[in-house]
Structure 1
């Protein structure tokens, strides 16, 4: 997905997003559709030549089912595309992977994270120079680090300042693309219950502590108030591709220490780019601070207490959940129910920056929004664009030969490819975006109401959302945790 805009003097410029490509391999049919269609045709033709009508009747379930799987849609997708999801779900159900219970009497190996599923393979490493907590995925060969970012409210800025900040953020993304060693950049924006620490700190520094009745009563009220509202927190997670940076890692000494040295270079570059974009990066999060984020995501009821108490809960060895129950359309962890939505369509018409404000500024709903950016190297992006152009042109010629009418959506997709080629030629980077929204609530009924409210807010933002069924556990880890995970 790319965005197109042309800057003008101090005015806010609308942007347009590329469409999600839905073009198939042949005549709009995907590979799975072609396979099932071929099975149906072979069964029908073989029965026709081998035994005539009787054998055709016997093989009718095969070719009829193949036709149904190929063309009958379910929730906007052909039935055959649901087969991998359904089969994987049945397999996980059979072997008991939908339930997770932590064995509290069994100690965890040193350096591992107490997380469910495939995240049990993650390892922690503390950088000796920056004290930053780094998460190593040995299977994906990535090393991830997290930084918290503060910024002024975008919607309250004047149009000229908004346009300047959008342009500066574009330069940050371009810097990530040029590196060639960054696997993923994740922007995570969360709503958290306000613990009241800000008010308590203000009273401690500005209040009158004279032991009077008013002073004592006010101090007790602040101490007992607890969470009184909600606040927003934004983090950026940077994942180093250890395969792409293998040569630099060997030069830096090899192993996890060499990877940490290479990642420090990317961290310094990212911090400089963020500061030039008028964003305020804090210190790189330590392992304890990452543990608090993980614990708060799995157990929201304890989030305010962890923030108020300071040093409690800052251990990755105990940051994971005690229990996880996954169902087809939601997941339950310690004290909350969660459901994750995928932004399947970004705005197709021209919209102004800040179009996601109905979703991000929705009040009374606890949610996490993740924008997962996967940069593509310029040579890889150029090859991908050339391949798409050839496929579009050959498909158009094939449709013209058989007399099929050209679809407007296919023309729009081809124009998006041309725009991406123009942006790449002009020196811009190409990133693939994935937007995920996790909604959290204490009960199922409240969760359903919150999901409906977020879906309506997404419609106001000109976006289309879909509930990720059959993969809620993986979707939750990608959307609610700052670990650069993918679905």
Structure 2
């Protein structure tokens, strides 16, 4: 008689809370409460103004109240009708002022850099790994960072304020002087396939990743972290260059017939296979690959003391950024990922350029480490529509995962979205650290609000629903997780799909939605926010303006 064993896991019962919050009362926001209150006041005034006999005098008041509730109560895709009215008014205003389109200025912006500018200096070296603190490139005799000349990124709207510096060792340091934030970008490589791991191995990696999240959120001054996986097209020549570099790095063997020392790879190992591979890659115009990056956004105001101790100003901010880079590079490897390198100004500019112009991906990739000049990173033309964003001949739509799996979430469920198909799409997850004490207080207020709402429902005779019970359970689960030592994080996932035409975009979105349904998630287009949503999701700039 055989006995079946049941596999238990510490992740059993893991689920995600629903998006809807408690609101001020009955799930209604403050704006809805004010609008409905104003409608009730108008209805009362109408009752007193009409001198007709009862109940005729209630008919106009009832009409006013019905219209008020019809406008103030419903929520569509997470927004009330009042919020949608504000979005439409904002979009119409932008269109009238001509602010929904962007063309880079032909004057007033230094698109061509002088010989003293670091962006075109021939001594810019590519960093093949994490920048070491002992690297003295770009420092004076006293070991202090020599602040290089900054180059402005020519980007639309509020993002035009971003400037690019170079850190010692060659890494890019992007600074937002308005928000007083800096962005550093790491290229991420994974040396273990999560889906091919045994279940126990997946659990171990997930446990380590939870620790990494706690580490990243615990770094002083980290505003938020962006982790992205971008499916794009690269040239066959780039793959061929990589293959040849690995051949040149291979070991030697001794030919038993001629006693010659031959490489244990490439033509010297198997001329027929080598020639076939070279011819195939030479004929391939483009092939899909996955590019992964991790952007860390640092808040200058939260690092004031450390910056002052490290040299003040931009110099001190750069020193702090270098120490954060070391921390990130040391924390990742146990999870099966590692920092392959820190993006340089030109390689970061290449990521930005190909995001706005996907058709240039093959050409830019063929340049290899040369990348793109910082001044040419931005688009030549953009147009913001209600539901799409156009740039340099491409059309994009950015969506937000509005609902995560409501039942037991399988390990690695986002893989269905990351590997949704061989078309241009970028999946970006944002993690924003929260103060644990403040997060617990907010949780306590939300649970108190639910208790008050339940009391009011009971008094008015309104039936409680399983949906309300589930939302209250989400708050209790959140409290339990934070008191158990999990990092207090606000998380959001955005997906940008890019195509060369509207019909192509619709076909790719349909394919994406099918994969999202398999992951038991829901997607919501970010109407009226497509420009800022695109920059947040499809570029490594970490600009969370949503």
TM-score of the two chains, using structure 2 as the length reference: 0.81
Shift in alpha-carbon separation, 1:61–1:98, aligned structure 2, 3 A: farther
The residue number in structure 2 matching 1:365 is 423
C-alpha contact (below 8 Å) 2:12/2:408 kept by paired residues: no
1:275 is the counterpart of 2:333: yes
CA distance in structure 2 between the aligned counterparts of 1:371 and 1:75, rounded to whole angstroms: 20
The residue number in structure 1 matching 2:139 is none
Measured after TM superposition, the shift of residue 325 of structure 1 is 1.5
Measured after TM superposition, the shift of residue 111 of structure 1 is 2.0
Measured after TM superposition, the shift of residue 237 of structure 1 is 0.7
Measured after TM superposition, the shift of residue 475 of structure 1 is 0.8
Query: Given the alignment, which residue of 178, 181, 192 partners 1:142?
Result: 181
The residue number in structure 2 matching 1:429 is 487
C-alpha contact (below 8 Å) 2:389/2:530 kept by paired residues: yes
C-alpha contact (below 8 Å) 1:33/1:70 kept by paired residues: yes
CA distance in structure 1 between the aligned counterparts of 2:529 and 2:421, rounded to whole angstroms: 27
The residue number in structure 2 matching 1:103 is 105
Q: Give the 3-state SS of the residue equivalent to 1:354 in structure 2.
A: coil
| Residues 168-219 of structure 1: CA deviation (Å, up to 9, x unaligned) | 100000112223421001111000113222234425735449xx99988975
Task: Please list, as runs of the form range in 1=range in 2, the aligned pairs for 1:258-337 lying within 5 A after superposition.
Answer: 258-310=316-368, 312-337=370-395
Query: Given the alignment, which residue of 502, 521, 525 partners 1:463?
Result: 521
The worse-fitting range, judged by mean Cα deviation, of 250-259 and 197-206 is 197-206
Shift in alpha-carbon separation, 1:240–1:408, aligned structure 2, 3 A: same
C-alpha contact (below 8 Å) 1:40/1:64 kept by paired residues: no
The residue number in structure 2 matching 1:133 is 172
CA distance in structure 1 between the aligned counterparts of 2:275 and 2:217, rounded to whole angstroms: 56
Task: Please list, as runs of the form range in 1=range in 2, the aligned pairs for 1:2-41 lying within 5 A after superposition.
Answer: 13=12, 15-41=14-40
The residue number in structure 2 matching 1:78 is 80
CA distance in structure 2 between the aligned counterparts of 1:238 and 1:273, rounded to whole angstroms: 14
Shift in alpha-carbon separation, 1:69–1:360, aligned structure 2, 3 A: same
Measured after TM superposition, the shift of residue 464 of structure 1 is 0.6
C-alpha contact (below 8 Å) 2:234/2:365 kept by paired residues: no
> Which structure: larger Rg?
2
Shift in alpha-carbon separation, 1:234–1:207, aligned structure 2, 3 A: same
Q: Give the 3-state SS of the residue equivalent to 1:470 in structure 2.
A: coil
The residue number in structure 1 matching 2:227 is 187
Measured after TM superposition, the shift of residue 161 of structure 1 is 1.2
Query: Given the alignment, which residue of 263, 285, 296 partners 1:226?
Result: 285
CA distance in structure 2 between the aligned counterparts of 1:122 and 1:469, rounded to whole angstroms: 25
| Residues 291-319 of structure 1: CA deviation (Å, up to 9, x unaligned) | 00001101111112111123555222110
The residue number in structure 2 matching 1:406 is 464
Q: Give the 3-state SS of the residue equivalent to 1:245 in structure 2.
A: helix
CA distance in structure 2 between the aligned counterparts of 1:85 and 1:180, rounded to whole angstroms: 35
The worse-fitting range, judged by mean Cα deviation, of 413-422 and 54-63 is 54-63
Shift in alpha-carbon separation, 1:283–1:214, aligned structure 2, 3 A: closer
The residue number in structure 1 matching 2:125 is none
Structure 1 runs (4+) deviating above 6 angstroms are: 8-12, 54-62, 212-218
- Structure 2: state its 5+ residue gaps: 1-6, 112-149, 248-264
The residue number in structure 1 matching 2:193 is 153
Measured after TM superposition, the shift of residue 353 of structure 1 is 1.0
The residue number in structure 1 matching 2:213 is 173
C-alpha contact (below 8 Å) 1:249/1:258 kept by paired residues: yes
The residue number in structure 2 matching 1:3 is none
CA distance in structure 1 between the aligned counterparts of 2:328 and 2:369, rounded to whole angstroms: 28
Shift in alpha-carbon separation, 1:477–1:73, aligned structure 2, 3 A: same
C-alpha contact (below 8 Å) 2:425/2:497 kept by paired residues: yes
C-alpha contact (below 8 Å) 1:141/1:242 kept by paired residues: yes
CA distance in structure 2 between the aligned counterparts of 1:267 and 1:337, rounded to whole angstroms: 34
| Residues 47-68 of structure 1: CA deviation (Å, up to 9, x unaligned) | 2223446999999986554333
Q: Give the 3-state SS of the residue equivalent to 1:244 in structure 2.
A: helix
C-alpha contact (below 8 Å) 1:10/1:159 kept by paired residues: no
The residue number in structure 1 matching 2:131 is none
The residue number in structure 1 matching 2:243 is 202
TM-score of the two chains, using structure 1 as the length reference: 0.90
CA distance in structure 1 between the aligned counterparts of 2:216 and 2:316, rounded to whole angstroms: 20
Q: Give the 3-state SS of the residue equivalent to 2:542 in structure 1.
A: coil
Measured after TM superposition, the shift of residue 136 of structure 1 is 1.2
Q: Give the 3-state SS of the residue equivalent to 2:464 in structure 1.
A: coil
- Structure 1: state its 5+ residue gaps: 1-7
C-alpha contact (below 8 Å) 1:252/1:262 kept by paired residues: yes
CA distance in structure 1 between the aligned counterparts of 2:422 and 2:92, rounded to whole angstroms: 36
Shift in alpha-carbon separation, 1:84–1:193, aligned structure 2, 3 A: same
The residue number in structure 1 matching 2:142 is none
| Residues 397-427 of structure 1: CA deviation (Å, up to 9, x unaligned) | 2222222222222222222222222222222
Shift in alpha-carbon separation, 1:436–1:122, aligned structure 2, 3 A: same
RMSD, aligned α-carbons: 2.7
The residue number in structure 1 matching 2:434 is 376
The residue number in structure 2 matching 1:47 is 46
Aligned length: 476
The residue number in structure 1 matching 2:157 is 117
